[in-house]
Structure 1
Amino acid sequence: MPHALPVRHASGSFAYRFDAAAPVDVPSDGRWHSVAVADFPVGLTPWHLSVPALDPAVYAAVELANTSPHALLPGPADILVDGEYTATVAMPALAPGQSRRIGIGVEEGVRVARRVRTTESTSTSLRGATTVVAQTVEIEVANRLGREVRLELLERVPVSDDKDVRVEDAASTPPWTVVAPEEDEQRRRGLRRWRVVVPAGGATTLTAGHQIRLPAGKAVVGGNRRDA
């Protein structure tokens, strides 16, 4: 069976015993048999994810939260959306209270389009000349599904380790949030996140940007006007 794992290899870093409500007879015929041991609800939250700067596709996912007092071992999980079978995915091991996001695949019913506008100007003060590189990002989202979607979009702004170079966020609509490196699996810096709800058949536009202020005699590696 796809995504099925032997228990000895699937228990991960914890040991757990499942107590059945009554004895069960399992035929000794050398074949696999499914035995229902327990039935309990878990938390399921559908999400859609997109990183438009890298990929215009929108990916569907479900956040699985083990709200039960029992351990969940890894194995196949059938995903149903609006009562219709969508896919069978690999469910990871989850201890009580643990949660994990599971990808389902590309969602063709939700589209994003990203546009970037960059301007460069120079100003002079008593401290010398300063170059300001301003980048504005506009993302349009169209939901063609018959249900609302929770959509998470990620952007990334430059990060400076030079004391003479400053990077400032511009106003964002709706407001985005800063993702701390320790919150990211790859510990990337400069991540920004939007979380929006797009109604069924609806659309929305998100705007944001940043400014890079640097001495006129310096330039950004790769070019001032490159897409960060």
Structure 2
Amino acid sequence: MSVYTIAGLATVKSDNNAVKVTITRQALDMALKYISVPKLDPAVYALVRAMNATPFDLLPGTASVFYDNTFVNTSHMTLVPSKALIYISLGADEAVKVTRTLVRRVESSGRVFFSLKKYFECSYVFDVESKLATRAVDLILRDHYPRSVDDDLYI
């Protein structure tokens, strides 16, 4: 159980209606990362990772997210214990772009004993462009790596 102290006065009527009261406002140190999976989506998404450095749990509810003193969005937060990590999506950031271009695709086939084998080889180039002149971009770039569950199919 957590105990919270409210600074100042709050009016809570005795009519059995829920009342929202601000307990505290906290600024947390955050690390900004960008994530892109260009095969599935051309957008690059900004993701914030922060540590709940407060001595109390952050209760579930709606959180207003600000970046560089600018309101970005609202996000629903689950219960975040003290000293736990928080991940918050800031949505797509149009200032960072990633393109995935197929530069080579080779198909070949051959016979091995009595079976026909087909081979595919693909090569891609990824271009990253950032319009964020004030800082470097920490980008996680993910791509599709095919895997087979069929023993006769080698990848």
Smaller-chain TM-score bracket: 0.7 to 0.9
Match of 1:119 in 2: 106
| Cα deviation code 1:115-167 (max 9, x no counterpart) | 12321123567797643211112211100123322212221211112223221
Which structure has the higher relative contact order (CA within 8 Å, separation 6+)?
Answer: 2
State the shift of 1:56 in Å.
Answer: 0.5
Distance 2:139 2:62 in 1: 25
Does residue 157 of the first structure (1) align with residue 145 of the second (2)?
yes
Counterparts in 2 of 1:205-216, with a 5 A limit?
none
| Residue ranges of structure 2 left out of the alignment (5+ in a row) | none
Is 1:90 the counterpart of 2:76? The answer is yes
Question: Is 1:17 paired with 2:5?
Answer: no
Identity of counterpart residues, as a percentage? 27
Q: Give per-residue Cα distances to partners, 1:18-43, cap 9 Å, x unaligned.
A: 243x8854234579564445x66645
Q: Counterpart of 2:131 in structure 1: which amino acid?
A: R
Map 1:50-199 to 2 at 5 A: 50-116=36-102, 117-122=104-109, 130-146=117-133, 147-167=135-155
> 2:48 touches 2:89 (CA, 8 Å); kept in 1?
yes
The count of residues paired between Structure 1 and Structure 2 equals: 150
Give the secondary structure class of the aligned counterpart of 2:2: coil
Structure 1 letter corresponding to 2:154: R
Amino acid at match of 1:99: L
Per-residue CA deviations over 1:157-216 (Å, capped at 9, x if unaligned) read: 11112223221xxxxxxxxxxxxxxxxxxxxxxxxxxxxxxxxxxxxxxxxxxxxxxxxx
Q: For the Cα contact (< 8 Å) 1:26–1:33, is it kept in 2?
A: no
Q: Which stretches in structure 1 are left out of the alignment for 5+ residues? A: 1-15, 168-228
TM-score, normalisation: structure 2: 0.74
Residue 79 of structure 1 and its aligned partner are, at CA, apart by 2.5
Letter of the aligned partner of 2:140 in structure 1? Answer: E
CA distance in 2 between partners of 1:114 and 1:23 (Å): 52
Say what the alpha-carbon RMSD is for the aligned residues: 3.1
